[in-house]
Structure 1
Amino acid sequence: MRLDDLKLFITVVQLGSFTAAANALDLPRANVSRRIGELEKYLNAQLFFRTTRKLRLTQHGEIYYRELQKVVEGIENAQEALYQLDDKPVGKVKIGILPDSDEAIEPILTKFQQIYPEIELEVRLCQNSYQGIYEQGLDLAFHVGQLQDSSFVARHITKIGRFLLASPKYIEQYGQPETVEDIASHRCICYRWPDGTLEDVWHFADCSIKVLPKLSSNSTNFVRRSMIAGQGISFLPLLLAVNAMENGELVQVLPEYQSTTEDFWLLYPNRHGISHATRLLIDHLLEEIPKII
């Protein structure tokens, strides 16, 4: 009986199925089923009622899960105590980042691994931070907007606004808008959300404007590249365009108009046993990200 098999059992219980646990841990489903079967054989006890609809703990499984959580957490705490004595912290952290934010986040993660070269990072794109933490087994993830689930710890990073952006090539060809109302008559590029909603109303602190897009996409990366190519004006968070602005590929249009802002959070499961490596990364992100936004 291995510690990894005990952790696997706990993950299956928490996620509710072999398939979800397999996805979260990047394992074949058959591997998860086999290892749980071997654990049951070792214990000489059935841990789950297996039905086509739902996986449910037996009485033996409930007792074993309850007591096992204490044991596994104790072992992990003991390991962390050893790691913290080491000058070179080790471990693995799985982090979920927002789609197309990698240009801004990657240098921050690179700097972290230069400081802590023995810590392994696994980076995943994550549309929905809450769902991603559950389904992909993430240690932490970014979230923008209102908080929806109080079972997670939420650390506020900063407030993020949006910017009207265009390329110098576009400004040269189509001219500079004089007021925010002029934007409606320009070539606009809009983002389409995963649920199909077209973001064609742009909200500012004192007003909102509705635009008629000449181009739209459900990829902010495509929107950004289209702006750089001179296709039009768009309305993006700085997080998604910081590199293009720094190298002059994009410039701010009407900087005196301030957009409404949203809260930018770092989420992680509400548990005491987060690893030392994860804590170090959380502290690093909270310090570094506000510097670029």
Structure 2
Amino acid sequence: MRLDDLKLFTTVVELGSFSAAANALDLPRANVSRRIGELEKHLNAQLFFRTTRKLRLTQHGEVLYHELLQVVQGIEKAQEAMYQLDSKPAGKVKIGALPDSDELLQPILNQFQLQYPDIELDVRFSTNGYRDLYEQGLDLSFHVGPLQDSSLVARHITSINRFLLASPDYIAQYGAPESINDLAQHRCICYRWSDGRIEDTWRFTDSTLKVKPILSSNSTGYIRRSMIAGQGISFLPLLLAINAMESGELIRILPDCQSQSEDVWLIYPDRMGVSQATRALINHLLEHLPKIFDCRKTQD
């Protein structure tokens, strides 16, 4: 009976399925199923009720899981204490990044890996910061907006605002709106969240406006390129469009209209479960990201 198989068992329980555990640990699903089967054979006990709809612990599985929790956590802490004796952190860190934030993050992560060449980074882009932290087994993730899970550690990075943006070609063809209400007569491009919601209510500091999109997408990169192509007006965080603005491909419209601010957080599980490699990356991001945000805010 191997420690890795016991840790795999606890992961399956916590994530609720073989598939979720396989995804979180980067393993084939068949491998997870086989190893759990071998563990059951070794223990001579069935650990799960397997149905097509849900995975549920048996009585034996319940007992094993609760007894294992402290044991596995204790072994992981002991391993981490030994790793911390090394001169440099090593291992793999999975990070959940916001969509289309690669231009911002990549230089910072490249610098990190020059400093820590023995740390492997697995960067995954998603809007589901909270959910993917568990479902994909992420070590840390970015999140924008209100915090919903008090069991996580959340470090505030900055607050961002959205701006109305369009290309000079669009303005030349359709004219510039003179007020927020004029946007109802313009071609608007909206973001679609992963749960299917279209962000068609644009919130400003003193008003809200529901627009009718002529285009929606779950990719801010696609939205940005569509704006550059002259297809419409969108409401994006400036940080996702700063390069296009510097090149003159996009310009701000109605610059006096300010959006409600949104908080950007770095979230990760409780401090006791953070590896040395993850801690090094957290410290690096917290040191360098606010500088980047502050520098770009001065360009607003």
TM range (shorter): 0.7 to 0.9
Residue 296 of structure 2 corresponds to which residue in structure 1? none
Q: Relative to 1, partners in 2 of residues 1:109 and 1:197: Cα closer, same or farther, differing over 3 Å?
A: same
Deviation digits for residues 168-202 of structure 1 (CA, Å, limit 9, x no counterpart): 44445555555444444444322233444433332
My pick for the range that moved more, 178-187 or 6-15, is 178-187
Q: Relative to 1, partners in 2 of residues 1:61 and 1:209: Cα closer, same or farther, differing over 3 Å?
A: closer
**SS, match of residue 254 in structure 2:** coil
Residue 159 of structure 1 corresponds to which residue in structure 2? 159
**SS, match of residue 127 in structure 1:** coil
Residue 71 of structure 2 corresponds to which residue in structure 1? 71
My pick for the range that moved more, 263-272 or 220-229, is 263-272
Residue 145 of structure 1 corresponds to which residue in structure 2? 145
CA distance in 2, matches of 1:33, 1:189: 44
Paired amino acid for 1:20: A
| TM-score of the two chains, using structure 1 as the length reference | 0.87
CA distance in 1, matches of 2:81, 2:10: 22
Per-residue deviation, 1:262: 1.6
Per-residue deviation, 1:89: 1.0
CA distance in 1, matches of 2:184, 2:244: 24
CA distance in 2, matches of 1:123, 1:173: 40
- Is 1:288–2:257 an aligned residue pair? no
- Is 1:200–2:237 an aligned residue pair? no
Q: Relative to 1, partners in 2 of residues 1:37 and 1:134: Cα closer, same or farther, differing over 3 Å?
A: same
My pick for the range that moved more, 235-244 or 12-21, is 235-244
1:110-129 matched pairs, under 5 angstroms: 110-129=110-129
Per-residue deviation, 1:66: 2.6
Residue 42 of structure 1 corresponds to which residue in structure 2? 42
My pick for the range that moved more, 42-51 or 93-102, is 42-51
Residue 252 of structure 2 corresponds to which residue in structure 1? 252
1:40-119 matched pairs, under 5 angstroms: 40-119=40-119
8 Å CA contact retained: 1:104, 1:242: no
8 Å CA contact retained: 2:166, 2:234: yes
8 Å CA contact retained: 1:242, 1:292: no
Q: Relative to 1, partners in 2 of residues 1:6 and 1:243: Cα closer, same or farther, differing over 3 Å?
A: farther
Unaligned runs of 5+ in 1: none
**SS, match of residue 193 in structure 2:** coil
Unaligned runs of 5+ in 2: 294-300
CA distance in 2, matches of 1:246, 1:92: 36
Per-residue deviation, 1:29: 1.9
Residue 2 of structure 2 corresponds to which residue in structure 1? 2
Task: Give aligned-pair identity as a percent.
Answer: 73
8 Å CA contact retained: 2:189, 2:216: yes
Deviation digits for residues 201-240 of structure 1 (CA, Å, limit 9, x no counterpart): 3221123334444433332211100112233321101232
My pick for the range that moved more, 67-76 or 223-232, is 67-76
Q: Relative to 1, partners in 2 of residues 1:286 and 1:245: Cα closer, same or farther, differing over 3 Å?
A: farther
My pick for the range that moved more, 172-181 or 150-159, is 172-181
Q: Relative to 1, partners in 2 of residues 1:271 and 1:9: Cα closer, same or farther, differing over 3 Å?
A: farther
CA distance in 2, matches of 1:110, 1:246: 23
Q: Relative to 1, partners in 2 of residues 1:291 and 1:137: Cα closer, same or farther, differing over 3 Å?
A: same
Residue 275 of structure 1 corresponds to which residue in structure 2? 275
**SS, match of residue 100 in structure 1:** coil
CA distance in 2, matches of 1:111, 1:249: 29
